[in-house]
Structure 1
Amino acid sequence: MKKHKSIVYQKFCNFIKNKKLFTKHKSVLAAISGGQDSICLLKLLKDFQIYQDLTVHIIHFDHGWRNDSKKNAIFIKNIANRWNFICHYETADKMLSEEDARMWRYTTMRKICQELKIKYIITGHTYSDKLETVFFNMMNGTGFEGLQSIQPEIQVSTHINIIHPLINVKRDETLDFCRNFCLPIWSDTTNYNRKIKRNRIREELIPYCKQYFNSNLEDSLSKFMQSANYDLDYLQERTYYLYYKYKHPKYVGINRTSFSLLSLSMKRRIIRIFIYHNTDIKLSFLETQEYIELIKYKNNQKKKISVLWYLYIDHEWIYLLSNKKI
């Protein structure tokens, strides 16, 4: 592959090369907002097409949160037409909360990928986003996993992965990249609303910490997160080993006696994996604690997890049963 003068482009290509992406699957779905990070991503994809055959689909979501959201969508469509990208445009039917909007976006993207047989969803999340997410998670009382923040690649289904090729790129670098190539950027006014916690972390907390505590905050936290990731990788491997070891050979269940002998930390991890792998339900910290207490003291009890699923506890096994089987 020919050399490109941009450091950001080199980081992008190194990510693709290290992850061995696009060797078999030649289509991607890129989530684009129009801000500097996503426009930087589009330019990188456009340049990457010069050296490798790649079909780029882009998707833009109109949440209806801003008065200029329609103009924002037109801005994205014009860029897609100029660069010969296939554009998908989705509009929310009603006003959604931030969490509901997130679920809507990822459900829609998975559906499109399944229909078009696209393996990769690609977003413009940067290292700066990763750092902000760590701060945000810590403020909300995260567990150890919250330090992992945004991962380079996340498997969301058997045939679909989300990738973050700019995860080693800082926001300052994407802005310089856009300026160097004279790229148009859509300014999202909600990014300047200090009532939004993530914006306040970005605009106030991190600059304050850099000014008064550590001018090299990003590098220091990067080393800390890398060290934490090594420990978490080991814990994850150990958790899966025990989970499969204690699984029921026929039914959806785990051995209660073996489970009860584990440390509290391992119990939390195994019960979360047990529930998530079979129902796609992510337990909160309080829900996890509630189930552990139930397993510890109750026999022949059932606990409703959702409309479709129940946890059933007998003397020897912890079962996960569908509503129809209860």
Structure 2
Amino acid sequence: MALEQDVRIFMDKFRMISPGDKVLVGVSGGPDSVALLHLLWRMKGELQISLAVAHLNHMFRGEEARADARLVEGLAKSLGLPVYVEEFDVPAYRERTGLSAQDAARRVRYRFFEEVARRTGASRVALGHHADDQAETILFNFLRGTGLAGLKGIPPVRGKYIRPLLDIRRREIEDYCREHSLPVREDASNKKTIYTRNRIRLELIPRLEADFNPRLVDALVHLGHICREENDYLEEQAALLYGRALKNQKEHCLLFAVAELLSSPPALVRRVLRRAWRHLTGEADLSYLQVECLLALLHNPVGGKVVELPRGVRASRQGQVLRLWIGGDAPGVPDYSYPLEVPGITYIPEINSSVKARLISINDAPDPRSLSAREALLDYDTLPGLLTVRRRREGDRFQPLGMAAHVKLKKFLIEQGIPREERDCLPLVVAGDEIIWVGGVRPGEPWKVTPDTKRCLYLQILEGKVPGA
């Protein structure tokens, strides 16, 4: 009864089951899954649930595997439960995909569970992972150099999948099977040390328990609980940052505000970058070094560099925008054109910048020579039309301050040393058909402030969306 009570408490803690649930129990024939099935069968009336059994023969072990299937069928029938037994040629699937034996088996097994759950209407799938599995997983991830996400280990609940035995030691499970005379089979492959996980279970954990901590498994399970809770909190904060920093999203391209990311803790930024990767690829994660490459790109103010990542993903920083995309060259900034608010603030989501415009008298105007490239002072009364802010376009011409004639804007930007990747990120302030300011570079000669100027248009480029925009 003690084991049954511990399992019930653990299930209640994580709200694994609700009255009326149909639970599909994955049973391999080993002690853990057999004990799980028997425990749930004993509790099904109290829990107000119905049960079904699923078993997949991976076809790795010939007659031995078929014997496992027969045992599961017999056990399910003795308990009066429906059972679904199928086989799949995982060795052939492994050859086709190039996956390891364990990865191939896991993918096929979960696909099988999903299909049987769909056919039977099961709302939960119960699996027999236990505390020793948890310790093994945490150590395995530690040796790979994981962060919190790996040290949290196996989740007690993931979608429809539940693991009621995750805090129970293997020896307790084996004792339960003996106490209730349950038929079990041992998979001989679990004893083969050619697999890293088996070596951790059979060699590393016993050595650490003998030489360093006899309660190592308990310590690792506790570590998993702590890391899971802290990881969940950081993921919540990262989701909020992701929403704030994401400025544009297409099917194969994501644009993030550099300023928003740089002003946030690196622990959250790393998680945002991993989320972006998962959005584009559907894959689980990036390595530490790959994430660090993205962080270095984020801090690189020069721009132009492209980081190549697996699965065809690329990343580059263009001005105040970090882009991640799948495909060829970096997608250009979409064409845009907005009326310039005067006075006011015009936000440009395509480049995540704002242009602030003010009208001031010549007496209040600063010295134009003291302004940065992100500021401009122009003679407002000489401007030849309605003001807009837009992206550069093919064929644009411009008369820069200090020059006597118009030049091609593209040639001018090349001569100014503006990288190709950053040119479309420069907002152009246009009056009628004339470019009066190449934002961040230079204002136009015909509209400079002179002794005859009475009203000045003062322009500033600000990062991100600012109040008033």
TM-score range, shorter chain: 0.7 to 0.9
Q: Per the alignment, in what secondary structure is the counterpart of residue 248 of structure 1?
A: strand
Equivalences for residues 188-227 of structure 1 within 5 A = 188-227=187-226
More strand by share: 2
Equivalent residue number for residue 66 of structure 1? 61
- Offset, 1:22: 3.4
Question: Contact conserved, 1:239 with 1:269, CA < 8 A, in 2?
Answer: yes
Moved more, 173-182 or 238-247: 238-247
Q: 2:113 aligns with which of 109, 114, 136?
A: 109
TM-score, with structure 2 as normaliser: 0.60
Match of 1:254 among 240, 256, 261: 256
Counterpart of 1:78 in structure 2 is: 74
Residue type at the aligned position of 1:193: K
Classify 1:8/1:282 alpha carbon distance in 2 versus 1 (closer, same or farther; 3 Å).
Answer: same
**Residue number in structure 1 paired with 2:285:** 283
Q: Which amino acid letter does the alignment assign opposite residue 98 of structure 1?
A: Q
Q: Which one is further off, 75-84 or 164-173?
A: 75-84
Superposed displacement of residue 62, structure 1 = 1.5
Report matched runs for 1:4-43 at 5 Å. 6-23=1-18, 25-43=20-38
1:300–1:315: 8 Å Cα contact kept in structure 2?
Answer: no
User: What's the offset of the Cα at 1:109?
Assistant: 1.9
Q: CA 1:216–1:28 in 2, change beyond 3 Å: closer, same or farther?
A: same
Q: Is contact 1:122–1:165 with CA below 8 Å preserved after alignment? A: yes
1:32 and 1:39 in contact (8 A); partners too = yes
Q: Which amino acid letter does the alignment assign opposite residue 42 of structure 1? A: L
Per chain length, whose mean CA-contact separation is higher, i.e. which structure has more relative contact order (CA < 8 Å, sep 6+)?
Answer: 1
1:152-184 per-position Cα deviation (integer Å, ceiling 9, x unaligned): 1113xxxxx211111111101100100100101
Structure 1 unpaired stretches of 5+: 1-5, 156-160
Percent identical residues? 25
- Which structure carries more helix by proportion? 1
CA distance in 1, matches of 2:16, 2:149: 26
The TM-score normalised by the length of structure 1 is: 0.84
Deviation at 1:28, TM superposition (A): 1.4
Aligned mates of 1:48, 1:13 — CA distance in 2 = 9
Aligned equivalents of 1:256, 1:28: Cα separation in 2: 46
Residues 283 and 215 (structure 1 numbering): CA distance in 2 closer, same or farther, change over 3 Å?
A: closer
SS at the partner of 2:89? coil
Change (3 A) 1:114 1:38: same
- Tell me by how many angstroms 1:270 deviates: 0.9
SS in 2 for 1:37: helix
Contact 1:25 1:119 in 2 (8 A): no
**Structure 2 spans left out of the alignment, 5+ residues:** 95-100, 332-469
Q: Structure 1 residues 243, 171: closer, same or farther in 2, change over 3 A?
A: same
Letter in 2 for 1:126: H
CA distance in 1, matches of 2:139, 2:218: 15
What is residue 457 of structure 2 aligned with on the other side?
none
1:133 to 129, 137, 149: 137
For residue 60 of structure 1, give the secondary structure of its aligned residue in structure 2: strand
Cα distance in 2, alignment partners of residues 17 and 144 from structure 1: 25
Amino acid at match of 1:205: L
Equivalent pairs counted in the alignment come to 315
- Give the Cα–Cα distance (whole angstroms) in 1 for the partners of residues 273 and 152 of structure 2: 20
Match of 1:92 among 79, 88, 91: 88
Summarize the Cα distance change of 1:214–1:99 in structure 2 as closer, same or farther, 3 Å threshold. Answer: same
**Which residue number corresponds to residue 350 of structure 2?**
none
Deviation of 1:302 (Å): 8.8
Residue 138 of structure 1: how far off its partner (Å): 1.5
Bigger Rg, which one: 2
| Alignment deviations for residues 177-217 of structure 1 (CA, whole Å, 9 cap, x no partner) | 00100101111111111222222222222122122212222
Q: What's the secondary structure of 1:238's corresponding residue?
A: helix
CA root-mean-square deviation? 2.9
Contact kept, 8 Å, 1:25 with 1:118, in 2: the verdict is no
